[in-house]
Amino acid sequence: MNEFEIIKHYFTVASHRKDVLMGPGDDCALLQVPPHSLLAVSTDTLVSGVHFFADMDPMALGHKALAVNLSDLAAMGADPCWVSLALTLPEVDESWIKGFCAGFFELAEYYNVALVGGDMTRGPLSITVTVHGTLPEGKGLRRNGARVGDGIYVTGTLGDAALGLQQVQGKVTVPEQYKDFVRTKFEHPHPRILAGQALRDIATSALDLSDGLAGDLAHVARASGMRAQLELEQLPLSAAMLATVSREQAWELALTGGDDYELCFTVPELYRGQLETALAHCGVKFTRVGRMLAGEPGVELTSKGRPYQLASQSWDHFRSV
Ligand code: ADP
Ligand code: MG
């Protein structure tokens, strides 16, 4: 198959979306943006050997390439609509492309996201995905909106993807009953789209966790011009995590491990009831892990009310940004 046949055969999928006036095949896609809406756009590239192992299961890779992009839309509170896909492939390996598409389109269909175009080139394996979503005018969960006194919250449990990576690398021995769980968290993250939408009218700021809570929260602290105080005892840790490593190592993974794709967000105390109702409604577990305080922008780690220093020294108890 040549490039055009591959695009036609594998990447031209009829969409049920009425707002796709022109999908793959012309010079541009033509998309009908609803009136009084904002367009939310985000791109991420995954490079073989940098962001994933070259032999990663193509189906998991197809899923993850889209999932990490949808996670950015979730963190903005946007409704996912359209996606474009630029693939650089070393060779035409149809079974690989088939697997990749299976993972990619399964997730796209789940959220009714239409693939509307892309590009195909030959070269070292790399995948660039651009997602487009919409938001009502005036909405959007930015990083700079946190206020002094807001609670800091996260969805799900933290550090499991990093534990999954360590398992793949043979650095830890996860008990048998948890092996699949951590592998799935690492290879098959699920974007928190529903939570993001539910937080749209409640949270003052939000972002998705791709590099570990400590570093990612520092972006919010800096953008909002205040101090973020985390209580380590509150960090949500999975049974798999607690069965595999010590509590201190678990904190370290939760704070500095990547690839969780959970949401971290801030909510004024006044909206706490509303928050519980909204997230219970979409079945997402969440935990309060700290609060925003006036002061030098940075992230402060505390345990039992006292400053805490990570063993790795990669994080001071108070890190300025
Ligand atoms: P151009 O030369 O105008 O860049 P291409 O030959 O790259 O066009 O692509 C032809 C059409 O196929 C375009 O509409 C493009 O959006 C679409 N396309 C190319 N690669 C992909 C892909 N991986 N997934 C979906 N659509 C694609
Ligand atoms: Mg092109």
**Rounded distance, CA 279 to CA 50, Å?**
34
**How does pLDDT run across 194-216, given as a tens digit for each residue?**
999 999 999 999 999 999 999 99
Best probe residue, ligand 1, of 26, 28, 45, 120 (max atoms within 8 Å of C-beta): 120
**Rounded distance, CA 101 to CA 195, Å?**
26
* Start-to-end CA span in the chain (Å): 51
- Cα 279 to Cα 98, 155, 222, 287, distances in angstroms: 36, 9, 27, 11
For residue 208, give both structure tokens. 């998705």
**How does pLDDT run across 100-115, given as a tens digit for each residue?**
999 999 999 999 999 9
Q: Report, in angstroms and rounded to the nearest whole number, the Rg of the chain calculated over CA atoms.
A: 20
**How does pLDDT run across 11-62, given as a tens digit for each residue?**
998 778 999 999 999 999 999 999 999 999 999 999 999 999 999 999 999 9
Best probe residue, ligand 1, of 7, 11, 92 (max atoms within 8 Å of C-beta): 7
- Cα 196 to Cα 57, 141, 189, 269, 286, distances in angstroms: 28, 8, 15, 19, 12
34 Cα–ligand 2 center, Å: 27
Asked whether residue 316 is marked as a ligand-binding residue, the answer is: no
255 contacts 313 by C-beta, under 8 angstroms: no
Asked whether residue 216 is marked as a ligand-binding residue, the answer is: no
89 Cα–ligand 1 center, Å: 14
pLDDT at 316: 45
Query: Which residue, by CA, sits nearest to atom 1 of ligand 1?
Result: 27
pLDDT at 4: 84
Query: Which residue, by CA, sits nearest to atom 24 of ligand 1?
Result: 118
| Ligand with the closest atom to the CA of 97 | 1
3 state SS of 143? coil
Residue 320 has pLDDT above 70, yes or no: no
Relative to beta strand 151-155, strand 114-122 is unpaired
**Rounded distance, CA 129 to CA 43, Å?**
6
Structural domains of the chain in order of their starting residue, each with its CATH number: 3-136 (3.30.1330.10), 151-307 (3.90.650.10)
**Unique residue bearing structure tokens 């839309």:** 73
Asked whether residue 143 is marked as a ligand-binding residue, the answer is: yes
pTM above 0.85, yes or no: yes
For residue 282, give both structure tokens. 């979409």
**Ligand 1 proximal residues by C-beta, below 6 Å:** 7, 11, 24-27, 85, 87, 115, 117-120
Sheet holding 114-122: strands in order across? 37-47, 126-136, 79-89, 114-122
**Rounded distance, CA 281 to CA 75, Å?**
18
Q: Which protein residues have their CB within 5 A of the ion that is ligand 2?
A: 119
75 Cα–ligand 2 center, Å: 30
Instruction: Return the beta strands (E) in 18-125 as ranges.
Output: 20-22, 30-31, 37-47, 79-89, 114-122
Residue 92 phi, psi (nearest 5): -90, 105
- Cα 239 to Cα 178, 188, 197, 257, 274, distances in angstroms: 8, 18, 28, 17, 28
41 Cα–ligand 1 center, Å: 19
For the segment 155-169, the average pLDDT, to the nearest whole number, is: 96
Residue 79 has pLDDT above 70, yes or no: yes
**Rounded distance, CA 41 to CA 134, Å?**
9
Q: Mean pLDDT score of the chain, rounded to an integer? A: 94
**Rounded distance, CA 105 to CA 70, Å?**
13
Asked whether residue 27 is marked as a ligand-binding residue, the answer is: yes
116 Cα–ligand 2 center, Å: 13
Relative to beta strand 298-303, strand 227-231 is parallel
Query: Which residue, by CA, sits nearest to atom 13 of ligand 1?
Result: 25
pLDDT at 311: 74
